[in-house]
Amino acid sequence: MPLNIPNILTLFRLLAAPGVALAFAIWARPCADWVALALFIGASLTDWVDGYLARAWNQTSRFGAMLDPIADKAMVITALAVVMATSGLNPWVIIPASVILLREVFVSGLREFLGAEAGKLAVTKLAKWKTTVQMVALAILMLSMGLQSEHGALFLTLTETEYDAAMAARSGWIYWSGQLGGLLGQAGIALLWLAGALTAMTGWDYLSKAMPYLRDAEG
């Protein structure tokens, strides 16, 4: 296992995945939201950086090629679990999240079944776009939930009269955390549905390419 910088970044992304969820076991909200968001964004950025450095420095390796998609899936699946939990199991989140989870499990199982032939299911540009949209959608949703958690924490520090006055004045962090949290939540859900659609398309594409290897021999 060559421990060069690209592979170290990939390892960081893999180890950061459980940290996104564990943040909520260690810290109270909204602190946990911000720690989880920082880990997710930092890890997501390494997805581009490690590949770029590996190609630029000619440090590509079989270990990196194996670990990179695993780290991506671990990050996305963990973040999806966090978003579903912190959204209160919102159906508008659960439906596209279920599509994404089904596709990731299906393609992983398909690759395992194909064994040596799995290398012929090359990662497409659409699949790369799918991963990018997934990570952007999840980052926006996590930011939205952090802002809404901030709004809720501030609400508990005010009387009803003070809260109503702050919202009516349309100023201050308590107002903007609520407003931005709501707007970003809607944008994040829309992007998550787009990610779900792209994910389903790539899943169908992989299945179509794998069909010649799945048919039983005749006669």
In order of start, what are the domains of the chain with their CATH numbers? 5-214 (1.20.120)
DSSP-derived letter for residue 159 is -
| pLDDT value of position 218 | 46
As a 3-state breakdown, the chain gives helix, strand, coil percent values, each rounded to 5, of 85, 0, 15
Measured between alpha carbons, how far apart are the two ends of the chain, in Å? 45
- Please give the chain's pLDDT, 219 residues, in tens: 567 777 788 888 888 999 999 999 999 999 999 999 999 999 888 877 877 777 777 777 676 677 778 888 889 999 999 999 998 889 999 999 999 999 888 888 887 777 666 566 666 778 888 888 999 999 999 999 999 999 999 888 888 888 888 888 888 888 899 999 999 999 999 999 999 999 999 888 888 877 777 776 444
Within 57-172, residue ranges assigned H as helices are 62-86, 91-114, 125-155, 160-169
Angle at 206 between CA 204 and CA 207, to 5 degrees: 65
Note the residue count of the chain: 219
Measured CA to CA, the distance from residue 182 to residue 151 in angstroms comes to 11
Burial class (CB in 10 A: 0-12, 13-18, 19+), 9: buried
Measured CA to CA, the distance from residue 192 to residue 136 in angstroms comes to 9
Quick one: which of 78, 77, 47 has its CA closest to 64?
47
Quote the pTM value. 0.85
Quick one: which of 190, 194, 154, 148 has its CA closest to 172?
154
Tokens matching residue 212: 């010649």
| pLDDT value of position 125 | 79
